[in-house]
Amino acid sequence: MIAAAYPDRDEIARLSARMLLEARAVHFNAEDPFTLASGRPSPTYIDCRRLISFPRIRATLMDFLAVTVLREAGFEAFTNVAGGETAGIPFAALVAERLALPMTYVRKKPKGYGRNARIEGIMGEGDRVLLVEDLTTDGGSKLSFIEAIRETGAICGHTAVIFYYGIFPETETMLAEHGVELHHLCTWWDVLAEARRQQAFESATLDEVEAFLNAPRPWQDARMGGKTPAP
């Protein structure tokens, strides 16, 4: 059940960032940057999968995600909640439970045997589907899941995530062009602000993270060493 009263959007963002830090899901390293799936370097990395092991944090974040979707999309906007393989599956199940809706999940690709399905669970013509995932960077992976959902005849115009990078301005534009609205709890800017309040990292590290957030592509290009990033 969803309680009648919840914090406003700014307080949800602050508390969500705090919980990510408490769960040690946030990693900052400017001296030895992480390599993202794109092949590009980053002084930031987030591991939302850790959250499933923290019951109080997990429950609060899922309450926040459910109420954010209700506030922004509507109380009767959906008839089905889908999780993206694999990180989105547990969060979709938890959100579906709170919204009292059926839950399904979407494979990254057909499983290659049996029914060769991408959708597991019951989804069909006219279903109004909320796609739930742990995070989004540039939104690209969401479109593949949404395409699979729409191939069933279902409608999918919303996706909800715990964490949104919030530093690539083209993300929400690209999703909007495909008829998708993004809902999220917090961004790197919220995490950086909370990390500064807590003094969770050395100030020099936080300054470098802020430099990256302000100009991510130039920061990455300067550290590519002439290498071409993976597509």
Q: What is the pLDDT of residue 36?
A: 81
What's the token pair of residue 30?
A: 């400017």
**Segment 107-161, tens digit of pLDDT:** 998 766 556 679 999 999 999 999 999 999 877 788 999 999 999 999 999 999 9
Domain boundaries, given as residue ranges, for the chain: 9-110+117-221
Sign of torsion over alpha carbons 204, 209, 210, 211 = positive
Q: Which CATH architecture has domain 9-110+117-221?
A: 3-Layer(aba) Sandwich (3.40)
Mean pLDDT over the full length of the chain:
91
Question: HSE (CB half, 13 Å, CA atoms) of 137?
Answer: 13
Per residue in 4-23, pLDDT (tens digit) is 578 999 999 999 999 999 99
What distance in Å separates the CA atoms of residue 186 and residue 166, rounded to the nearest whole number?
8
Which residues neighbour 166 within 8 Å (Cβ) at sequence distance 6 or greater? 184, 187, 188, 189
Of 154, 91, 67, give the one whose Cα is nearest residue 119. Answer: 154
* Mean pLDDT along residues 179-192: 97
